[in-house]
Amino acid sequence: MSAVPVITIDGPGGAGKGTVSLWLARTLRWHYLDSGALYRLLALAAARDGIDLDDGAALAQAVAHLKIEFRLHADTLQVLLDGADVTAAIREEACARAASRLAVHAGVRAALLPLQRAFARPPGLVAEGRDMGTVVFPDAALKIFLTASVEQRARRRWLQLSAAGVDASLDAILDDLQRRDAQDASRAAAPLRPADDAVVIDSSELTVEQVCARIMGHVEERGLTVGDHPAP
């Protein structure tokens, strides 16, 4: 196990990783990495700078110039790119689609590796994404793979958007999730799959509270403790 304890939470889009990971980081007072936000930021920077999403070499080079800042608030992550607040922009479906496309390039994934590993600082890190337990933090103290049926994930996202006043179609969300699932699971570089030593939790029939309670059970079982990092 690495010196700094890491808990990884991987899984497909819409499984509730964000909510659960933020809650866990806050509860443990550990640092937090939303790796998907890095891929989304790169997608945004690529659109801004006119970089082709199929040009893996140019995208990998662009990683070195990313000026990003994550600010953790009570239950949200504020994201800045070159000083501009892009918290809402990176959550758009078009950005997710572009992120999923550029995430297929092995060079892009390699360029993002050191950036992601730098988040592991004392007292600990909660890292969420697709390959946190398989590739980025293979020595993590606890690996969770959080999943749910695609219908349930689409429904949850639709409810989230509706609550935020966004007029979205459930069918379109379902289509998007299915397309991204297929792309993430079938790519050659770091495909989405649970690590061999991951605890798989299917949240289809569970509330957020129930998922958090299950994860906390595993955290306690492994003797992982609350840190002294100031609560976000």
Give the binding site for ligand C5P (CB under 6 A): 13, 35-36, 39-40, 96, 99-100, 103, 129-131, 180, 184
Cα–Cα separations (whole angstroms), residue 15 to 9, 58, 104, 140, 208: 10, 31, 21, 21, 10
User: How far is Cα 139 from Cα 194, in angstroms, rounded to an integer?
Assistant: 14
Establish how many alpha carbons lie within 13 A of residue 188's alpha carbon, considering only the half-sphere containing its beta carbon: 4
The residue with tokens 């050659």 is 188
In angstroms, the first-to-last Cα distance of the chain is 26
**Minimum separation from the CB atom of position 12 to ligand C5P (A):** 8
Nearer to ligand C5P, 34 or 141 (CB): 34
Nearer to ligand C5P, 13 or 56 (CB): 13
**Minimum separation from the CB atom of position 17 to ligand C5P (A):** 7
User: How far is Cα 108 from Cα 103, in angstroms, rounded to an integer?
Assistant: 7
Nearer to ligand C5P, 69 or 221 (CB): 69
**Minimum separation from the CB atom of position 137 to ligand C5P (A):** 11
Phi-psi label, residue 50: left if phi above 0, alpha if psi -120 to 50, beta otherwise? left
Q: Which residue is nearest to ligand C5P (CB)?
A: 36
Nearer to ligand C5P, 5 or 13 (CB): 13
**Minimum separation from the CB atom of position 160 to ligand C5P (A):** 13
**Minimum separation from the CB atom of position 34 to ligand C5P (A):** 7
Nearer to ligand C5P, 43 or 224 (CB): 43
**Minimum separation from the CB atom of position 184 to ligand C5P (A):** 5
Non-local (6+) Cβ contacts of 97 within 8 A are 176, 179, 180
Nearer to ligand C5P, 28 or 44 (CB): 44
User: How far is Cα 147 from Cα 37, in angstroms, rounded to an integer?
Assistant: 19
